[in-house]
Chain A
């Protein structure tokens, strides 16, 4: 039934192929990249420029202006009809810690251990050559926060940040956040009640303070026995010093309020992950200046703690003044972290202003986790994406991705398999088709 006429598709594809080839050929030498006549979503005071030029030099953005004239550059791209945004940043992922979800040997994101777990730092397990890196990069993701998980303890350990170059030195920061579970899952891990989970978090904080004040005595064994290992208590020090954020999973409105109270009591830098009912306590979140990381597509009341889940959660919280970051949809996991873009698009469809949608998957993530990037400003790191159209639209795609000013390959296993089997047929030929 579905007769297909080969028309504009081929031309469009050839144009794209040539752009990518040109970009990659020039990539090795490109010290300067000039993109002309693109719509530029800067997320700075410069706002969104309808048609402007952007110059990158030595890994940083040098200039953004309506018309930079006939500048010389190693690579010049015509951005007419296209849109530039900051590179997307995943606020919560297991990128580089997982290859195949259901293959234990390929997973490094969680440990079974009797200690509290706060000391767990999975950054040494990071694999920059994971297939998830190029795939998510081709989706426009340039940086990501990588966070461990836990199936045993409410404290999961420490998160770190990466850039998606796939290079061996692509971890950019470690010890970024401490991950902990509250709400239904936290209650389950803690032994059956939120109250017990709360007690465990507070107990750990108290003992971390006790350790801080009596470090020498405790290390010499001249102190009462504490419940947690030295490693865990050391790991909690940046938290109580306010140098590290506590990333807490919680969804129910009352759970969020409990976490706000705890954060106030211990002067913690708190980030709420989940916040399905955040809209119900948006004013309190805003007043406490506590940011949230949400799954903007997660509108099913699929748990009793998420009865208030809704598609306009992001819009309502943003309107109340909460700093909102949007993660990839929960059902798709780390493999599709870049789909935060689709989440943001839906949040915009349900009331979030467009620029705030872009901000929620870039600038806000950088702000919340203290990373560089997330905006397009002279002097800032040149992590950016040239999109075929509206960056939040499901029919748009990344045509060029720069990390530190360098054009990245957009080839993935998905495109390699596509090209091998574009016209599947009998025979042995596919086995030799490597391009």
Chain B
């Protein structure tokens, strides 16, 4: 650990490093630590576009006699789970059915926490994909830390509902990866909203998208500006952090000693929010070498990288990730679309996990996000084939609790534990099967998706009258056959 800045920073940094997930206003951080009100200037600006999401009042729900994968390492057979006031009220055997409310017979069904995708572009690269809706990446300068992904979200993207039918209850929308600093991501509840604020996960910290490797150097090198090389990338990060530290110090000094109020700078504000521990770093980074460099950049400037995304080579440096408390979000088997994605192994996630680093599955895809249970299953089996005894009861954390950690919301969601948000999925069978379907999806105790009831299947505005003026896109026309699963 090197503290190259002033001692004030060092002390602040220590808390973040010890903890891993950063301290965030009003949110409990990792390890059950207490929520701490952040002192000092408000760089994260949580109040600027506040969440207006308010869960409907939910009648109690009892899911009875199901197999539970809790996300905390347990598989419970023939267990009951009671949802009340939007929270998980009890888990156990023989729970009493509520007087009013819903009882879901869980025989043969499996229940998992709601799936959380730490890397999505829904709403920012919506369907249908046309020129005028490509709002996911401000590709006009290598550093666009000043942009916020939430300002691009088209809440009527019909793909949110598809992801919901795949069991996704929470997702982070990130800016694209053409820039060294792409801007802020935003964490959403997967619920219909008229505004993005209606979907914002209350209290979730902001994320800052950074990118290593080929993309920034290709995009900006091609325009004749820095970076055109990987070393150019790193120079770009370091200069920006130097500027951000100076900006933060200026505001700290103003807070402490008064004087003339410094001028606000949106770009530096976001970076200063990272240095302050309020904003989490989500770093697109494929190569082992680059991850190692980025972790040293973080040390040099006293911040924490929360997760590397698309980390195709994370397995090569999994021990370093564990040491530095950095998560890795990966695909199960995508590879070869560019050089930095060439050294893929299907055992990536399993090796990360075995090295005691925090690994997770992610989609970065409007198709993949609908099948994260299958992607997790493939990663689990690759681990078993590598000789690791990985079972569904821990692999389930790769799509639930671990992404919740990376988003700084694991104290309130991501596992089936009493008191947490009732965000969960009832599956038709073991979710680690290609034949498994999310039958019921609850968010804050509300039944937001019900496969057997078309009236509880959301459709965005876009889907009304689009193929048939009197109809809703594909609504009610599903062939609900069982198929011939073996």
Q: Residues on A close to B: CB < 8 A?
A: 1-10, 12-13, 16, 83, 98-103, 131-132, 297-304, 306-308, 310, 312, 315-316, 319, 329-333, 335-336, 339, 342, 345-346, 348-357, 390, 392-395, 397, 413-415, 417-418, 421-426, 430
Return the contact of A424 from the options B318, B334, B384, B466 (Cβ within 8 A).
Answer: B318
* B389 touching A424, Cβ below 8 Å: no
Q: Residues on B close to A: CB < 8 A?
A: 72-73, 127-130, 158-159, 162, 214, 315-319, 333-339, 342-347, 351, 353-356, 365-368, 370-371, 374, 377-378, 380-382, 384-390, 394, 397, 401, 432-437, 466-467, 473-474, 478-486
* A335 touching B337, Cβ below 8 Å: yes
Return the contact of A349 from the options B333, B388, B432, B437 (Cβ within 8 A).
Answer: B437
B370: chain A residues at CB < 8 Å are: 299
Shortest beta-carbon contacts, A-B, top 4: A354-B484, A345-B434, A335-B336, A101-B337
* B433 touching A424, Cβ below 8 Å: no
Closest to A414 in B: B345
Closest to A416 in B: B345
* B435 touching A393, Cβ below 8 Å: yes
B336: chain A residues at CB < 8 Å are: 98-101, 131-132, 333, 335
B353: chain A residues at CB < 8 Å are: 2, 4
B467: chain A residues at CB < 8 Å are: 307-308
Query: Roughly how many angstroms separate A306 CA and B473 CA in the complex, as a whole number?
Result: 11
Query: Roughly how many angstroms separate A96 CA and B159 CA in the complex, as a whole number?
Result: 34
Query: Roughly how many angstroms separate A312 CA and B477 CA in the complex, as a whole number?
Result: 10
* A336 touching B334, Cβ below 8 Å: yes
A342: chain B residues at CB < 8 Å are: 371, 374, 434
Query: Roughly how many angstroms separate A316 CA and B434 CA in the complex, as a whole number?
Result: 19
Closest to B486 in A: A390
* A333 touching B337, Cβ below 8 Å: yes
**Given known contacts A16-B385, A394-B377, A395-B433, A351 and B479 CB-to-CB distance under 8 angstroms:** yes
Query: Roughly how many angstroms separate A144 CA and B380 CA in the complex, as a whole number?
Result: 28
* B354 touching A392, Cβ below 8 Å: no
Query: Roughly how many angstroms separate A62 CA and B409 CA in the complex, as a whole number?
Result: 60
Return the contact of A355 from the options B319, B344, B347, B484 (Cβ within 8 A).
Answer: B484
A335: chain B residues at CB < 8 Å are: 334-337
Return the contact of B315 from the options A99, A415, A421 (Cβ within 8 A).
Answer: A421
Query: Roughly how many angstroms separate A131 CA and B374 CA in the complex, as a whole number?
Result: 25
A307: chain B residues at CB < 8 Å are: 128, 466-467, 473
* B366 touching A302, Cβ below 8 Å: yes
Return the contact of A316 from the options B351, B371, B380, B479 (Cβ within 8 A).
Answer: B479
**Given known contacts A1-B397, A315-B479, A298 and B374 CB-to-CB distance under 8 angstroms:** no
Closest to A330 in B: B367
Query: Roughly how many angstroms separate A421 CA and B480 CA in the complex, as a whole number?
Result: 44
Closest to A1 in B: B73
Closest to A98 in B: B336
**Given known contacts A354-B486, A395-B432, A414 and B346 CB-to-CB distance under 8 angstroms:** yes
* B73 touching A3, Cβ below 8 Å: yes
* B386 touching A418, Cβ below 8 Å: yes
A to B CB contacts below 8 Å, 11 in the list: A16-B385, A101-B336, A300-B366, A307-B473, A315-B479, A332-B333, A336-B333, A348-B484, A350-B479, A351-B483, A394-B378
